[in-house]
Amino acid sequence: MAKSFDQKSFFWVALLVLIASVMSYSYGFRVGERKESYTFLRVINGDTFSVESNKGKTEKKVRLLGIDAPKTGECASESAKEKLEILIGSGKFAINKVGDDNFGNTVANVLISDGDIAEKLLVEGLAKVDDGAKDNIGFELKPKEEYLRVLRVAENKARMDKIGIWSK
């Protein structure tokens, strides 16, 4: 009987790993394919931070794909900035570049050991989903629909809990 339970457990764990791998690939997350390593420098606002390339020692601004955090002076702007600093400054991170915006910022998915930074900011009510529709940006900088679904679920949780920018 115990052997049967072990086989069932193995099956479910293997299935979950397979599903997670497929989902990660469909979102465009390929941690480990990064060709360049970076050192975190500072947070600029709730959805943008600065890094230094360890390859050429050049500074780059990185904007999180799929979200728009409050700007300086707006409700929860300082909270969003502080949370981003905690998340990105806490250790290793992976920058999965999508492209460059009109200001020369790298637009990217940014992952830490326990998940997607944009999703974490949304769950805490510190950003809104930004599908790129209102911006005059190229198709390549718009989040994939699968990724937007994940972000919308996180945003809806914060709305339901009435936290952060959704508290009023």
pLDDT of residue 34: 45
Contact 126, 75 (CB under 8 A): no
pLDDT of residue 7: 66
pLDDT of residue 31: 42
Q: Can you tell me the distance from the alpha carbon of 130 to that of 71, in angstroms, rounded to the nearest whole number?
A: 14
Cα dihedral 68, 74, 76, 78, rounded to 10, equals: 100
pLDDT of residue 124: 96
pLDDT of residue 131: 84
Q: Can you tell me the distance from the alpha carbon of 9 to that of 3, in angstroms, rounded to the nearest whole number?
A: 10
CA–CA–CA angle 35, 110, 72 (5° rounding) = 130
E strand map for the chain? 38-45, 48-53, 59-64, 67-68, 94-100, 106-112, 115-116, 128-129
Contact 76, 164 (CB under 8 A): yes
Nearby residues of 144 by Cβ (< 8 Å), 6 or more positions away? 26, 27, 28
Task: Tell me the average confidence (pLDDT) per consecutive run of 10 residues in the chain, 168 residues long.
Answer: 56 54 45 65 95 86 95 92 92 90 91 94 96 66 90 96 93
pLDDT of residue 6: 65
Q: Which DSSP state fits 154?
A: H
